[in-house]
Structure 1
Amino acid sequence: MQRNTYSTGTAWEPRVGYSRAVRVGPYISVSGTTATDASGQVVGEGDVYAQTAQALRNIQAALEALGGRMEHVIRTRMYVMDISLWGDVGRAHGEVFGTIRPATSMVEVSRLIDPVMLVEIEADAIIPD
């Protein structure tokens, strides 16, 4: 099967050796995605809802670059710095996936790569024939 990758062009990708997203056949896996803008700056500092919404927009861009759409997402994984804020994270996730309803998980982690980041999200999608 053909393998296609999508890169955002950040310095992290070649340094760590990963792609923002990879498509093999009908499957797309999107790497852990945070709330950064096109210049790599964190959006929504101190606001987990705003960061979740931005991370989901970044996931959408990665999916679309590889021929996918949000409605193709079958699973998300959310890593949060403070699980007590799950309602705000869930609200942003629900606004995007309310009718799609992928399988998901949300876990609290002790740290993300940048202390300003409050949430990181992974996504898996299957493109229908």
Structure 2
Amino acid sequence: MRRQHISSGSPFEAQIGYSRAVVAGDWIFVSGTTGFDYATMAISDDVVEQAEQCFQNIAAALREAGASLDDVVRVNYVLPDASLFEACWPVLRRHLGRARPAAMMVSAGLLDPRMKIEVEVTALKPG
């Protein structure tokens, strides 16, 4: 099975040693993705804005792999503060409402205290 590695250009990928996404056959595994704008390495203080940026980053990786958010079959959400999750629901519904993937949310600390949400997805290439 051929593997393709996709990078977002985030310095975290090189520092830690991972890919934004890995394509293995028809499967696309997108790493936990936070709300950093990788072009500027800026991150909003607002959890909803971070969630939106997460999905922009994930969508870019999926596009490069030949898929879209509509192809997501599994999603995992990690938030240090579980009470902030509900505020993100409209963003999650807007981006994944058609795909309706299997989902899980956990509350756990993240690498950088500025990070308020991290999203990991698995997608199956269309067709």
Task: Specify the TM-score bucket, using the shorter chain as the normaliser.
Answer: over 0.9
Question: Which ranges in structure 1 are unaligned for 5 or more consecutive residues?
Answer: none
Tell me, yes or no, if structure 1 residue 86 matches structure 2 residue 85: yes
- For the aligned residue pairs, the C-alpha RMSD in angstroms reads 1.1
Task: Quote the residue 1:49 is aligned against.
Answer: 48
Q: How does 1:102-121 map to 2 (within 5 A)?
A: 102-109=101-108, 111-121=109-119
Give the % identical residues.
Answer: 39
For the residue of structure 2 that corresponds to 1:101, the secondary structure is coil
Tell me, yes or no, if structure 1 residue 65 matches structure 2 residue 68: no
Query: In the aligned structure 1, how far is the partner of 2:96 from the partner of 2:10?
Result: 27
Return 20-29 or 10-19, whichever deviates more. Answer: 10-19
Query: In the aligned structure 1, how far is the partner of 2:89 from the partner of 2:104?
Result: 10
Query: In the aligned structure 1, how far is the partner of 2:111 from the partner of 2:87?
Result: 21
| TM-score computed with the length of structure 2 as normaliser | 0.93
Question: Which ranges in structure 2 are unaligned for 5 or more consecutive residues?
Answer: none
Query: In the aligned structure 2, how far is the partner of 1:101 from the partner of 1:51?
Result: 21
For the residue of structure 2 that corresponds to 1:84, the secondary structure is helix
Query: In the aligned structure 2, how far is the partner of 1:10 from the partner of 1:60?
Result: 15
Number of matched pairs: 126
For the residue of structure 1 that corresponds to 2:78, the secondary structure is strand
| TM-score computed with the length of structure 1 as normaliser | 0.92
